[in-house]
Amino acid sequence: MFKNKDMQQEIPKKLIATIMMVVLLVIIMFKSSVTIKSGEAGVLFETFGGGVNTENTIEEGFTFMAPWNDMFIYNVRQQAKKEIMPDVLSSDGLGITIEITLQFQPLYESLAMLHKTKGLSYVDQIVTPAIRSATRTVIGRYTPEEIYSTKKEAIQTEIFDETYKICIKEYVQINAVLVRDIKLPKRIQEAIQFKLEQEQEFLQYEYKLQTEKKEAERIKIEAEGKAEANRILNASLTPNILKEKGIQATLELAKSTGSKTVIIGGSDGLPLILGGK
């Protein structure tokens, strides 16, 4: 009787121990494995191995690790960040609002160093300050008129170059900078627009004058050419030449069929042809 009672007490103890072991194994399995999704990469923190493992970037997929270590997962795809910056000063101190989209991603091979130096908040620590600083620096080189009308592509390129130089040193790659919009104060924009319209009208007027001038020159050259041709022709038509031409024409007529009367010796000494069939 006592044996049965002791056995009944031992069974719950074994069951509890088994359950505890299973729970412990599940916890260990959960802590010892991690799934890194597509477009992500991991950085391993080794608690007893010197901290951040800077030698390897953990690729996507299912990975085992010691339960006392930690895995930090990063998005390594291209990301986009939009910045709207009011009161960016131009070269003459005018406040301008500019909207920019920045495309970037962490350097895959240097992901561990990025984690070691900046961590998961690297966008706020590196990318945002870099694009703001670069934009203010570049806009400060140009006048409002240049910014509004002729230098947008140059501004975009220069902001990209400035941002890239800052971020690449911090293990972040800048892929593109897109200037979406530039807003000047309304009165300044209207003044610039009016000036551009006036310049365009002036250019059209200049073009019209140049066209008319070229046409006048063409007519003059053509008239001078005709006058010169007539002068040369008149100079070449001497009385003797005219007589010779008349004689040649008379001979040709004489050879032709049909009756005709030819009188030799007009007032100018040339043959006269009368009638003819």
Can you give the pLDDT at residue 143?
Answer: 86
Q: Which mean pLDDT values do the consecutive 10-residue runs of the chain (277 residues) have? A: 52 67 62 86 90 90 86 95 91 88 96 94 95 94 80 90 96 95 74 61 68 79 78 67 66 64 55 52
CA–CA separation, 28 vs 67, rounded Å? 6
Can you give the pLDDT at residue 232?
Answer: 73
With the C-alpha atoms ordered 168, 174, 175, 181, is the resulting torsion angle positive or negative? negative
The runs of H, that is alpha helices, within the chain are 2-32, 111-117, 122, 128-139, 144-145, 152-168, 186-236, 239-255
Taking the model in full, what pTM does it have? 0.60
CA–CA separation, 266 vs 244, rounded Å? 14
The alpha carbon of residue 231 and the mean position of all alpha carbons in its chain are separated, in whole angstroms, by 62
What is each CA distance from 210 to 89, 173, 213, 217, 221, in whole angstroms?
41, 52, 5, 10, 16
Single-letter amino acid code for the residue at 220 = K
Can you give the pLDDT at residue 91?
Answer: 87
CA–CA separation, 38 vs 60, rounded Å? 6
**Domain residue spans of the chain:** 2-75, 79-184, 239-274
List pLDDT tens digits, range 151-172: 788 999 999 999 999 999 999 9
Can you give the pLDDT at residue 28?
Answer: 61
What is the homologous superfamily of the domain 79-184 according to CATH?
Band 7 domain (3.30.479.30)
Can you give the pLDDT at residue 183?
Answer: 85
